[in-house]
Amino acid sequence: MADLISPRSLPVPTPSALDDSASQLSSIFAAESPSALPSLIPDREYILVGGQKLQNFSTVEADKVIYSLNTTTTGCYAPGAVPLARALNDTCSLGWFCPNSSAREPPQYCPPSDTCQATRLSKGTCPPQGVLEPVVCDAGYYCPPGGKQKIPCDKGTFCPMGSYQPIHCSRGAVCPPQSQRQIVTIPFGFMVTFDVLLGIIVAAGFFISRRRKQRKRSYASLQNLKELSNLDTDDIELIQKPGNLSQHPDVDEDLTSNPDFLVFMRYIAKIVKTKEVGLSFEFQDLQFEAKGGNKILHGVSGSILSASMWAIMGGSGAGKSTFVNVLMGKTKHTGGSIKVNGHHKDMSKYKKLIGYVPQDDILLPELTVRENILHSARIRLPMTWRDNGIQEYVDALISCIGLSHVQHSRVGDANKPVISGGQRKRVSIGMELAAAPMAIFLDEPTSGLDATSASSIMRLLKAISKLGVTTITIIHQPREQIFNGFDNLLLLGNGSQIYAGPTSDAATYFGSLGYIFPTRANPADTIMDIITGNGQEYTQDPAWSENAVNKLLEEWRTHVEEQTFEDSHHLNPTDTRQSTRSPSIISSPEQEQSLRQTMQKRGASWPAQTYYCCKRSITQQVRNKGSFFFEIGVGALAGGIIGLSAFAAKGQLFRGLYVPPFTILSSAVDYQSVPQVGLLGGMAIGLAASAPAVKVFGEEKLIFNREAASGHSMSAYYVGKMVSVFPRICLSSLHFSVFMGILATPLMSFSQMFAANMLYFFCVYGLASCVGMLVKREDGPLLAVMASLIIGVLGGVAPPLSKVKAWHLEGLWRLSPGVWFTEAYVSQNLLPLDYLYMLDMASRGMGFTLGHYPLDMWILFIIGSIYRIIAFVLLVTVHRKR
């Protein structure tokens, strides 16, 4: 067709020329179809390739060679078609091929044939419909400005449809000659290399961990430890001479002969220091009323001196746990008062100095025994301690609680237990002892332990109480040896006191009420029977057969009143019996200042806490390697599926209206393919990331509550946890982007696509963390997936954002990260084609704003950060049982 010339420049043929043309025509048809020569219609005017007229011939069947009368007069190929001039001169827009136009004969539009019209309506292109009609430069070729040449793309470049210059492929991309898209390979190679290195690092880490577990540790001598200590001489002698401790009836030789015990006691003494005041508690008329008007505590009064060891006993519902929670400040009392060292203070301010062992073991199952205890020590010990000292202290503590043989075993959980229940209980106790508290509260510390382990733990607690640690234990029917090891006893019934005083005087007091303790029975069992109203077998008085608990409460109130009267009037100064009311100790201003300085030094710095929490969380994720690699695999699969859905387009994901003057030559527009890639990509990311994100963020509510109650910085905990998932997000988005980019080959660069995908992963993780804080553990993954699908649907694709604007609801849609994510995809895939298409019209048709890619990325980051702030607020404020 390039050989055809305009009808206006055709020469008038002579008869001899007609003969020559006829013979030429016959030879051409013979070459194309030797068996069928054309027949021409007489009295018709025809034109031959080359510009010669033919007359008085019958009709031919090959319109590629000859054209009707209309062609000779208009330049359009279709019979009767009238062309429309597109310019006043030889104007050929960028990306167009205009081989036959000139200044005298500018480009023109010819009405398309039925076949061409159908092709254009199906978003395709067709050959020019006239001699002077321009055509968009074919894919794989570029047409330099002016449009007179169509040059194949060289190797190393690619040319999408409508290119006016070749686009250099990225380094390492696959671009054979006449490529219309590039296949980026360097990200794929980087991904494979990184995966191999990650596998090697994980394998090496497990190997090093195994070798470290098998390596025997060495202890520093106590002489060297003495040089690092600031202890008083009396304290050092107490620790260095086992005989001193072993002579105490409550500390047996099994502990003092253990070098680990001596190391542990040295560190405890270094922190607590027996010469300081410690922590004592005084409570007066303590009351607690639950919602609904149920009184759990009422009228509980007494005092607990520092360096004493108390046992709290009572039947079920007696108020033991409530009393401990109120005394610690975990639950606000509704009446009465609490004093610390003789001063009215907020107990929450002392949480760095107080340890609490809950009845249920709240541990991280992915960590080993040692890792759980070591983390607690690193976070809560004084910030002046070096890590090697902390490590040695933890080693000694693990030996003292009898866990050396399982210290490198994972804790496990109820579904997949690794260590026994008794060992889990000792880990829970060890985590609090690792903080070297000045007061420690324990809720049923011996439950789940065998008799030997329980005795060993209680002997250790007794030993540290001698160094100034106030120990308060809720205990249920302890063995006799453990019971006699307590200095004092607090018995509760129906939320009030039945007895409070020395353990050794308990039998005497109940004996004065008519109860007789059997000689060979465990006094703790006898006392439990009495205070629960089942002590009829221990008395001959029939008055105790009914309402025994209420009578015991009344007897104790009477006893306290009598004791208070005697103490205030000194009626019997020669009486050597110990008072049931312990004297209150009021700390001096110097002691209070020392206590404040101690609290300020306790605990690692905020950056250190963040680092340790991040490190611990990464360890958890590595231990859950199945879930970790599954998420990455799902991300790669999702990216591949989205890429396959766009693979057939060969990178041409958009068609719009051509810029003037060739707008009339436009095919049917395609405003959906690019937004749909964004929509499907966002939904795929949501499906791949939402469920794992719930598991990472939402399963540690109880761990968070326990650590926050012990003085752990809540923000450091959360920031460390959040930072730890960044590698996970980057890896997942890398695999997703690589497979999507290789198959879909969008026009946006890989770095831009990767940034958009990573930030959308960031948003999905934040949203899933919000869901995880609100719902139950088993419901979290499903609801997180639903939430991610909702923000994907609000991406401005269906319904289109232009229609949403007509509804005046764009602000609601803009709250979803899906809109900004899709807008980034649309913008970066359309802007490279602004010379070819009318993008402003496409922007209005879709509703997206083009050219704001940096803003889109910043908004995605801001939305993801807001999700995390909301999740943190929910983590702190929402209290629920899991």
Spatial CB neighbours of 284, under 8 Å, sequence gap ≥ 6: 301, 336, 337, 339
Q: Summarize pLDDT for 680-708 with one digit per residue, the tens.
A: 999 999 988 888 888 777 677 888 888 88
Packing angle of the helix pair 750-774, 780-793 (nearest 10 deg): 130
- Angstrom distance (rounded) from CA 33 to CA 27: 10
Report how far apart the first and last C-alpha atoms of the chain are (Å, whole number): 77
Rounded to an integer, the average pLDDT of 780-796 is 91
Q: What is the mean pLDDT of residues 808-837?
A: 94
Contact 579, 563 (CB under 8 A): yes
**242: buried, middle or exposed (CB in 10 Å: 19+, 13-18, 0-12)?**
middle
Whether residue 61 has pLDDT greater than 70: no
194 CB-contact burial (10 Å; exposed 0-12 / middle 13-18 / buried 19+): middle
Question: Tell me, what's the pLDDT at 12?
Answer: 36
93 vs 232: which has the higher pLDDT: 93
Report for 153-167, 572-586, 620-634, 774-788: range of highest mean pLDDT: 153-167
Q: Which of 215-219, 363-367, 397-401 has the lowest mean pLDDT?
A: 215-219
Q: How many CB atoms lie within 10 A of CB 61?
A: 12
Whole-model pTM: value is: 0.80
From residue 130, how far is each of 82, 321, 500, 671 by CA, in Å? 10, 93, 109, 29
Pairing of strands 488-493, 135-136: unpaired
Q: How confident is the model at residue 269 (pLDDT cuts 50, 70, 90)?
A: confident
The bridge status of strand 439-443 relative to strand 354-357 is parallel
CA distances from 285 to 86, 310, 329 (A): 98, 19, 16
The mean pLDDT value for 518-525 works out to 87
What are the residue boundaries of the structural domains of the chain, listed by start?
1-74, 281-504, 630-877
pLDDT interval class at 96 (50, 70, 90): very high
Do residues 346 and 284 make contact, with C-beta atoms less than 8 angstroms apart?
Answer: no
- Average pLDDT of 240-261? 52
Please state whether beta strands 488-493 and 496-502 pair in parallel, antiparallel, or not at all (unpaired): antiparallel
Q: What percent of the chain has pLDDT over 70?
A: 82
- Tokens read off for 503: 């353990």
pLDDT at 56: 40
- Angle, CA 404 vertex, CA 400 and CA 410 arms, to 5°: 125
Q: How far apart are CA 808 and CA 802, in angstroms?
A: 10
Distance CA 152, CA 155 (A): 9
Tokens of 249: 């009836």
pLDDT band at 595; cut points 50, 70, 90: confident
Q: Is 66 exposed, middle or buried (0-12, 13-18, 19+ CB in 10 A)?
A: buried
Closest CA to 499 of 480, 518, 486: 486
pLDDT tens digits along 722-776? 999 999 899 999 999 999 999 988 999 999 999 999 999 999 999 999 998 888 8
Q: How confident is the model at residue 649 (pLDDT cuts 50, 70, 90)?
A: confident
Burial zone of 50 (CB within 10 Å; 0-12 exposed, 13-18 middle, 19+ buried): exposed
Distance CA 706, CA 361 (A): 11
So what's the pLDDT on residue 478? 86
754 contacts: CB under 8 Å, gap ≥ 6: 187, 733, 734, 737
What are the backbone dihedrals phi and psi of residue 623, each rounded to the nearest 5 degrees, phi first?
-65, -35
Percent of the chain with pLDDT over 90: 37
Q: Calculate the alpha carbon distances from 678 to 653, 661, 811 in Å.
A: 11, 31, 20
Using the predicted structure, report yes or no on whether residue 791 has a pLDDT greater than 70.
yes
DSSP 168: E
Three-class secondary structure of residue 334 per DSSP: coil
Local structure of 97: helix, strand or coil? strand
Q: What span, in angstroms and rounded, lies between the C-alpha atoms of 861 and 536? A: 70
Backbone angles phi, psi at 29, to 5 degrees: -65, -35
* Residue 523 contacts residue 479 (beta carbons within 8 Å): no
Assign 149 a pLDDT band (cuts: 50, 70, 90).
very high
pLDDT of 52 = 44
The total number of residues shown for the chain amounts to 882
What are the residue ranges of helices labelled H in 229-258? 233-240, 242-246, 253-256
SS3 content of the chain, % helix, strand, coil (to 5): 50, 10, 40
pLDDT greater at residue 163 or residue 631: 163
Mapped onto helix, strand or coil, the DSSP state of residue 678 is: helix
Q: Average of pLDDT values for 427-435?
A: 91
The mean pLDDT of 627-639, rounded to a whole number, is 87
| pLDDT surpasses 70 at 51 | no
Per-residue pLDDT tens digits for 10-26: 333 333 433 443 344 34
CA–CA separation, 659 vs 636, rounded Å? 38
CB under 8 Å to 232, separation ≥6 — which residues? 273, 274, 275
Residue 474 structure tokens: 């809720």
Q: How is 268-328 classified by DSSP, letter by letter? A: HHHHH-TTS----EEEEEEEEE-TTS-EEEEEEEEEE-TT-EEEEEE-TTSSHHHHHHHHH
d(CA 418, CA 410): 6
- Phi-psi sector, 251: left (phi>0), alpha (psi -120 to 50), beta: beta
Mean pLDDT, residues 133-137:
94
DSSP H helices, 103-241, are 114-121, 186-214, 222-228, 233-240
Helix (H) or strand (E) holding 568: helix 548-569
Topology annotation, domain 281-504:
Rossmann fold (3.40.50)
* 531 in Cβ contact with 315 (< 8 Å): yes
Please, which residues have CB within 8 angstroms of residue 406's CB and are 6 or more apart in sequence? 369, 419, 423
pLDDT for the residue numbered 162: 94
Residues 208-221 have a mean pLDDT of 59
Which of the pair, 880 or 806, is modelled with greater confidence? 806
Residue 137 carries which DSSP code?
P
pLDDT of residue 819: 95
Angle between helices 259-272 and 451-465 (to 10 degrees): 40
Report the distance separating Cα 879 and Cα 701, nearest Å: 9
Q: If pLDDT is split at 50, 70 and 90, which confidence band does 228 have?
A: very low
Whole-number pLDDT of residue 109:
93
The 10 Å Cβ neighbour count of residue 254 is 12
What pLDDT score was predicted for residue 213? 62
